[in-house]
């Protein structure tokens, strides 16, 4: 007979913390809501090496054949065209951005990296390729090598070692948070389980920044097939609720953008509309993931 599970989580990465029982969270300048915008720069391989693991939700999008030219070309559109449309909208609202970048993008598309660097944006390590996820079939040595290759590529391309990690398609193993901390990273943007940051219970302190995958554009538009015109409505509803709650206890909101999705000519205006609503409110602290992690860590009791 199985023993009853003790109260709390079924793992040791973080403690259970019901929101109403926490002390109030206060952001800089008493902002109601901290907004971090994530721009994904990814390289989708035409013919991934044998044994690599990709997000199974995207398999068979256009057929089960190899090489998948149409899938590859759709993703490549974001790096050739869509990126620049998205850039115009982000510039319009002067948004600080956290760029989740594959190692392969750092090597193959220096122009995209230069555009982001010129704006002073933050870079986060984001795996090596869009077609190679961290997965439980890897041993510890392979996972360490994957993390090191991802982080080192960003440092080489940008001149600055990244402080944060946003996993490719949120792929992780039970070892990942500890290995990321060992690699010197101090925030993780993968676990979509909260509306506030929290500390991971690791030997080396690391902040978890919960990522709102529910309205990530790939999740909402590509996988769930929600009509794009509904995007401002859905994101606006989420923002309005978080903003109202933030009047007494600070909230956080992430906004994930893939150029191959929102950079399409028929979709870009809906991203503009959503940002117009959000940025039309006072008390919104639009910033980077790293700045949110720092503010949260500084506000924790010693």
What is the pLDDT tens value at each position of the chain, 302 positions in all? 677 767 777 788 888 899 999 999 999 999 999 999 999 999 998 877 776 667 666 665 545 567 778 888 899 999 999 999 999 999 999 999 999 999 999 999 999 999 999 999 999 999 999 989 888 888 999 999 999 999 999 999 999 999 999 999 888 888 999 999 999 999 999 999 999 999 999 989 999 999 999 999 999 998 889 999 999 999 999 999 999 999 999 999 999 999 999 999 999 999 999 999 999 999 999 999 999 999 999 987 54
Give the tens place of pLDDT for each residue, 231-263.
999 999 999 999 999 999 999 999 999 999 999
User: How confident is the model at residue 63, as a pLDDT?
Assistant: 53
Give the domain ranges of the chain. 28-298
Q: In angstroms, what is the C-alpha Rg of the chain?
A: 19
Beta bridge partners of 293: none
DSSP per-residue string spanning the chain: -PPPPPSS-SSSSS----GGGSPPP--GGG-SEEEEEEEEE----SSPPTT----GGGTTSS-S-SS-HHHHHHHHHIIIIIHHHHHHHHHHTT--EEEEE-HHHHHH-HHHHHHHHHTT-EEEE--SBTTB---TTS-HHHHHHHHHHHHHHHHHHHSS---EE--GGG---TTHHHHHHHTT--EE------SS-EEE-SSS-EEE----GGG-HIIIIIIS---GGGHHHHHHHHHHHHHHHTTTS-EEEEEEE-HHHHTSTTTHHHHHHHHHHHHTSTTEEEE-HHHHHHHHHHTS--
Q: Specify the pLDDT at position 136.
A: 83
pLDDT score of 271: 98
Q: Could you report the per-residue pLDDT of 61-98, keeping only the tens digit for each?
A: 545 567 778 888 899 999 999 999 999 999 999 999 99
Q: Which two tokens stand for residue 301?
A: 């009791």
**CA distance linking residue 98 with residue 296, whole number of Å:** 17
Q: Does domain 28-298 have CATH number 3.40.50.720?
A: no
């Amino acid at each position: 007979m199985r023993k009853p599970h003790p109260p709390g989580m079924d793992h040791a990465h973080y403690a259970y913390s019901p929101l109403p029982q926490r002390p109030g969270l206060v952001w800089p300048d008493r902002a109601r809501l901290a907004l971090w915008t994530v721009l994904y720069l990814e390289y989708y391989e035409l013919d991934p090496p044998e044994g690599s693991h990709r997000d199974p939700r995207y398999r068979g999008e256009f057929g089960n054949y190899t090489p998948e030219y149409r899938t590859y070309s759709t993703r490549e559109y974001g790096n050739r065209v869509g990126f620049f449309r998205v850039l115009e909208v982000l510039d319009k609202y002067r948004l600080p951005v956290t760029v989740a970048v594959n190692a392969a993008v750092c090597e193959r598309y220096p122009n995209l990296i230069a555009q982001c660097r010129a704006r002073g944006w933050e870079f986060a390590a984001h795996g090596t390729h869009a077609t190679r996820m961290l997965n439980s079939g890897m041993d510890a040595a392979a996972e360490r090598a994957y993390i090191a290759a991802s982080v080192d590529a960003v440092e080489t391309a940008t001149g600055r070692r990244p402080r944060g990690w946003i996993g490719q398609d949120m792929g992780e193993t039970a070892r990942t948070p500890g290995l990321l901390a060992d690699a010197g990273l101090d925030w993780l943007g993968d676990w979509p389980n909260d509306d506030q940051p929290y500390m991971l219970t690791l030997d080396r302190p690391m902040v978890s920044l919960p990522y709102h995958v529910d309205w990530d554009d790939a999740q909402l538009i590509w996988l769930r097939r929600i009509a794009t015109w509904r995007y401002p409505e859905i994101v606006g509803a989420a923002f309005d609720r978080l903003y109202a709650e933030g009047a007494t206890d600070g909230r956080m909101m992430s906004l994930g953008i893939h150029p191959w999705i929102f950079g399409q000519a028929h979709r870009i205006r809906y991203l503009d509309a959503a940002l117009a609503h959000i940025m039309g409110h006072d008390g919104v602290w639009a910033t980077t993931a790293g700045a949110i992690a720092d503010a949260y860590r500084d506000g924790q009791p010693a």
